[in-house]
Chains A and B, each alone.
Chain A
Amino acid sequence: MHATTGNTLILSSVALALAGAILSFSAGRHNSPTGTKWGRWCAYGYAATMVLANLVMVRALLVDDFSVSYVAQVGSRSVPTWVSVVSLWSSLEGSILFWGAILGFYMVGFCKQLENRYPKFVPYANGVLLLNAAFFAIVIAGPANPFQIMDPIPLDGPGPNPLLQNHILMVVHPPLLYLGYVGMSVPFSIAIAALLRGELTSGWLKPLRYWTMIPWTFLTLGIIVGAWWAYEVLGWGGYWAWDPVENASFLPWLAATGYLHSTVVQERKGILKVWTLTSVICAFLLTILGTFMTRSGVFNSVHSFTQSSIGPIFLGFLATTAIFSMALLAMRSHLLEDEGTIESPLSRESAFLLNNLIFVVFTFTVLIGTVYPLITEAIKGVKLSVGEPYFNQMATPIGILMVFLMGIGPVLPWGRPSSKDVIRGLLMPASIGLLGAIMTILLEPSTSTTTLLALGVCTFAATVTAQELINLVRSRRARHLEPLHTSIQKTFASHRRKVGGYIVHFAIIAIVAAIAGNKTWKESVEASLTPGKDFQLGEYTFIYKETVGESHPEKFSILASFEVFHQDSTLGAMQPKLNYYRSQREPIGTPHVRTIGNQDIYLSLLAFEEQGRRVVVKAYIMPMVPWIWWSLPIIMLGSLISLWPRRKSNALHTGVVAT
């Protein structure tokens, strides 16, 4: 029953997406409001059928209907309910089905927001979105069909990948990433609509920024939550390994971040138009590349799904979309000519241009490092990976330069500023940055030059950001006699985009500082202990007590108990675990992580002997890592402020005037 219903819904979604795409493009060409309306209804229909198909799959997983191929592949009678639900995105076919539903939600949101606005552009954008939806629906109906009928029907299934079952963060990490990936389809559609229409009005580019900001926020949160999950589960005391699939999420993030900066200059000065549109298009193409990386079997990664036949289909889609976009950009190149020039190398627009260059360099650095094993295999016949040292070596100077520009940009005035103005603006933040570096070396004399530079630049950028926010409030207070909290509230309300951006800058600075500090000051020790023995790490003492076993329906866990002391006072027990899942030979660890101030104590169980006679553990002191996780609510706050809608009358006015 589930399989038949699911297949019917998927086939309906294919038909609706294709019909909607044809109707929308035709409506755009003939300026037909009726065609636009029908195209929109097809989009709603696609969303409804796709969401229903997902619900059917969730139900099949919950009731253990092993006659459905995907349930037979990832379902299990012994897993908890929440694991059954998240199994939806645990494997290839289900994850694409989930992708289809998210695309449906985005389409509904986009159509609803722009229902009666921009009639010249919306049908084209809907058409592009629906074509994209049709592609995914066809993949789901054909090569990645999760609703195939099993014969014979198995009595039970293996359950999803144990890594997915091991931590609750896995419930949120994939959906956040998918919301980021899939959402990039909307700005792509907006950009392509502008190019197809042959008009680049600033009014139409407003929704472009809004609809990039939404997936950008989800992608950022998804990447950080993924790093957090790796930190809490994999037990190696790290959070980012430059794995191809991790890079797959970072690449579109870089392109989208480049766009969010470039668009500021385009709106203000009418320059960097090629950068702006290319960044948005690249962000989308890189999400497809990421999907290809995860699902084609071409890249070695712990995150990869199994080998499948859909790799060539995704590569074909990527190639077609990339070539079509490039051709369209070339055809409309006359619209992309800059309306002005950069007047001074000391201007804000110069900083933005340099910033864009850095994002491009970073994107290529990561891309080349990721595909390097394929290049060497194609040329030399040997698969050689560049590994973490290459990425760290390249990312460190680029990251420092990026934060430096984050600091210098807001200080530089637009146009042709005098060097005196620039020096005056930079003096205080640069001095505080220098002071930050000096304080660091006084407190930690062994700090490396790179870390000193990174922390100094972070302090500089944070000072500039704080100074800019204070200046915004101060300039309002100079004009209005009102209480401070009212000034802050009104400044935030009237400069949402700027304030939101600066708040996000704070979070990014905190992340960069945390990475730099942790890399330098991280300490670790490995110990092999019998009960009652202890080992020391920094000011902490770890005493091994005992090892116990815990049986669960889906796994068996080994817990090693330690009592931890900081100097003479006890911090209580820490219990790192090794989990043996029914479906996996190798155990999966659950390190015990305890946050104390701005550092983590991280204890990982590596091996044990029978009856806990001996255990091998690795302990880490991870300074500043909590800053990375604390940045999550800051990013959310900044993004929310930036995205918060203006009063309806204003927004409508803008849209109507622009069309």
Chain B
Amino acid sequence: MSLRTVILLVGSAIIVPLIMILASGFGNDPHAIPFVLQGKKLPPLELLSLDGQKISLGGKRTKPIVVNFWSTWCEPCKAEHILLQEAARNLNNKVEFYGVIYQDTPEKTREYLQQKGSEYPHLIDPNSSVAMDFGITGVPETVFISAEGVVLHKHLGVLTPPILFKQLSELVPGGLN
């Protein structure tokens, strides 16, 4: 094989696929943070709730779960709280809801929940280790996990009724209706 053929063959074998791969990436958001748990089974994660119960988030269970990371110093979280309470009340037999307290004190959270009420347990995450496992970058963030324990989606920012409805419809086998 001549040197010319080698140059053309090797060059084309590198340049053509590389350009095609690079072109396939247009439209991406360069600052989107990849969520490593997406599509994976959640490892066993045990946390204490505000009333001292041990609660595990990982593993197979009978119902899908929604885990909301929030704190009392986050105003958007408070707005979202009302929506989540309503959803938890209406879907009590179909979905489990949990709150995870993010960089906040149990005392302040208890005080807030006493005023506003809560339909589901809120878990204490000392040193934010569970938040780190979930790749939480700020609050509010909400993670949707199937009954098989597979992480389906993470929503960054405040949940609105249409977003929550869409995510829950995908989460509950057979939909919400």
Contacts and interface: CB of A to CB of B under 8 A. Distances in A.
B22 A371 contact: yes
A394 to B, nearest CB: 18
Contacts of A318: 19, 22
A323 B16 CA distance: 9
Interface in B11-26: 11-12, 15, 18-26
B113 to A, nearest CB: 20
Given A274-B3, A616-B127, A300 B34 contact: yes
A312 interface: yes
A520 interface: no
Nearest to A318: B19
Among B3, B11, B31, B38, residue most surrounded by chain A Cβ atoms (within 10 Å): B3
A296 B25 CA distance: 9
Contacts of A311: 26
B3 A337 contact: yes
B138 A586 contact: yes
Contact of A326 (B12, B103, B137, B138): B12
A304 B4 contact: no
A367 B22 CA distance: 12
Nearest to A329: B7
Contacts of A299: 25, 28, 30
Contacts of B31: 300, 302, 304, 306
B11 A330 contact: yes
A331 B3 CA distance: 10
B93 interface: no
B138 A585 contact: yes
A371 B21 contact: yes
B12 to A, nearest CB: 7
Contacts of B4: 330-331, 333
A340 to B, nearest CB: 15
Contact of B28 (A298, A302, A334, A385): A298
A381 to B, nearest CB: 11
B18 A371 contact: yes
B54 to A, nearest CB: 22
A371 B21 CA distance: 8
Interface residues of A, number: 46
A585 B139 CA distance: 11
A419 interface: no
Contacts of B22: 289, 292, 296, 298, 315, 318, 371, 374
- Of the listed residues A330, A375, A528, A607, the one surrounded by the most CB atoms of chain B closer than 10 A to its CB is A330
A607 B103 contact: yes
Interface in A11-59: none
A423 interface: no
Contacts, number: 98
Most chain A CB within a 10 A radius of its CB, from B2, B19, B26, B30: B30
User: Which of B2, B7, B19, B137 lies at the interface centre, i.e. has the most chain A CB atoms within 10 A of its CB?
Assistant: B7
Contacts of A289: 22
A556 to B, nearest CB: 16
A336 interface: yes
Interface in B124-148: 127-128, 137-138
A326 B8 CA distance: 7
Contacts of A302: 31
Interface hub of A274, A306, A319 (most chain B Cβ within 10 A): A319
A319 B19 contact: yes
A329 B21 contact: no
B39 interface: yes
A299 B2 CA distance: 38
B17 to A, nearest CB: 9
A329 B30 CA distance: 35
Contacts of A383: 34
A407 to B, nearest CB: 30
A214 to B, nearest CB: 27
A375 B138 contact: no
Contacts of A526: 127
Residue of A323, A367, A585 ringed by the most chain B CB atoms within 10 A: A323
Interface in B73-103: 103
A307 interface: yes
A336 to B, nearest CB: 6
Contact of A375 (B21, B29, B137): B21
Contacts of B7: 274, 326, 329-330, 333
A378 interface: yes
A274 B97 CA distance: 64
Given A315-B22, A326-B8, A306 B127 contact: no
Nearest to B8: A330
Contacts of A304: 30-31
Contact of B25 (A322, A330, A377, A382): A377
Contacts of A586: 137-138
A66 to B, nearest CB: 25
Interface in A522-541: 526, 528
Given A315-B19, A319-B19, A330-B4, A307 B11 contact: no
A164 to B, nearest CB: 15
A334 to B, nearest CB: 8
A378 B21 contact: yes
15 contacts: A296-B22, A297-B29, A298-B30, A300-B30, A300-B33, A312-B26, A315-B19, A326-B12, A330-B8, A333-B3, A333-B7, A374-B22, A377-B24, A378-B24, A607-B103
Given A311-B26, A607-B103, A616-B127, 18 more contacts: A297-B29, A298-B22, A299-B30, A300-B34, A302-B31, A306-B30, A315-B22, A322-B15, A326-B11, A330-B4, A330-B8, A330-B11, A333-B3, A371-B18, A375-B21, A377-B25, A383-B34, A609-B105
Which 7 interchain pairs have the tightest Cβ spacing? A298-B25, A304-B30, A326-B11, A333-B4, A333-B3, A378-B24, A330-B7
